[in-house]
Amino acid sequence: MKDFFDGKKKVIGMVHLLALPANAAYKGDKDRIVRFALEDAKTLIDCGVDAIMLENFNDWPQYADEIPMESYTLMTAVASKIRDICPIPFGVNVEMNAWQQEWIMAWAVNADFIRLEAFVDNRAGSFGYIPACSTPLSKVMKDYPADVKLFTDVHTAETYGNPDVPINELAHNAIGHDADAIIVTENDQCKRITVEDVRSMREDIGDFPIIVGSGVKANNVLDYFEYADAVIVGRGFKTGDRIDPAKVREFMDVVRSKY
């Protein structure tokens, strides 16, 4: 993981868990949750993505900064099973911004990175207020040291800034607080990040790693990769609720045709 951003463009595929226990959408199907996650992880690996990330995507409503113990325990168990079969970099994301649970999970299962939705900017959304976590996270990182990279959002999806700070300024703040990469998904008008937005950030922060976190498809990925170092793809790889190998291979063929 040390050399993940090595000049080669990276594709991070998402493993979206079905709704977890203690969530309103949970259907009492623990074994199915585990089986689907492992199958989707294997599909992504076999189709050539550069990294995978596990996320409790189907939990709804989401919690602001911590998920129930029942959810967390099962998600950690799934993360451990995926880590055992995963030869490529592996990360975890506990939505919405469960920074402490993410770090401890990554520490426990030897994950390579975590995603933090509110790292240096305070956010608010339908799930409540989400304070920036860079300061308290640093204490947890010291108590439980691990070689885990911080991939940090600025202006994360489905939220508004409190206050609204320009996205490029937040990128500089994240770099100053030891982020390892900046993730861009939306601006504070909840509009999808454009190629021009990524170009602007690239010009502002230099060669620091930038990841585009949503909206990337086979027909636009090469445009984003003019300025971004990596992309995250979740729903774009799916047919229904499952990873579609044909879609993953098509996407990866486009990326590798140039990079």
Residue 227 tokens, joined: 């300025």
Counting the structural domains of the chain, the total is: 1
Answer yes or no: is 2 within a domain: no
Instruction: Please report whether residue 1 resides in a domain.
Output: no
User: Rounded mean pLDDT of 127-136?
Assistant: 94
Confidence at residue 16, expressed as pLDDT on a 0 to 100 scale? 98
Average pLDDT value for the chain? 96
Residue 220's SS3 state is: coil
* 189-247 per-position pLDDT tens digit: 788 999 999 999 999 999 999 999 999 999 999 999 999 999 999 999 999 999 999 99
Within 13 Å, how many C-alpha atoms sit on residue 58's CB side? Answer: 19
Distance (Å, whole) CA 151 – CA 157: 15
At residue 39, the 3 state secondary structure works out as helix
- Cα separation, 99 vs 114, in Å, equals 9
Return the CATH number at 25: 3.20.20.70
Inside any domain, residue 227: yes
- Token pair in block for residue 211: 């990841």
Beta strands 123-125 and 113-116: pairing type? unpaired
Full residue range of the structural domain in which residue 247 is found: 10-256
Mean pLDDT over residues 113-141, rounded?
95
Mean pLDDT, range 4-13, rounded to an integer: 96
pLDDT value at 156 more than 80: yes
Question: CA distances (Å), 216 to each of 11, 174, 221, 233, in order?
Answer: 10, 23, 6, 7
pLDDT digits (tens, 9 = 90+) for 26-51: 999 999 999 999 999 999 999 999 99
Query: Does 5 reside within a domain?
Result: no
Running DSSP on this structure, what letter comes out for residue 49?
A: -
Mean predicted confidence (pLDDT) in 97-110: 98
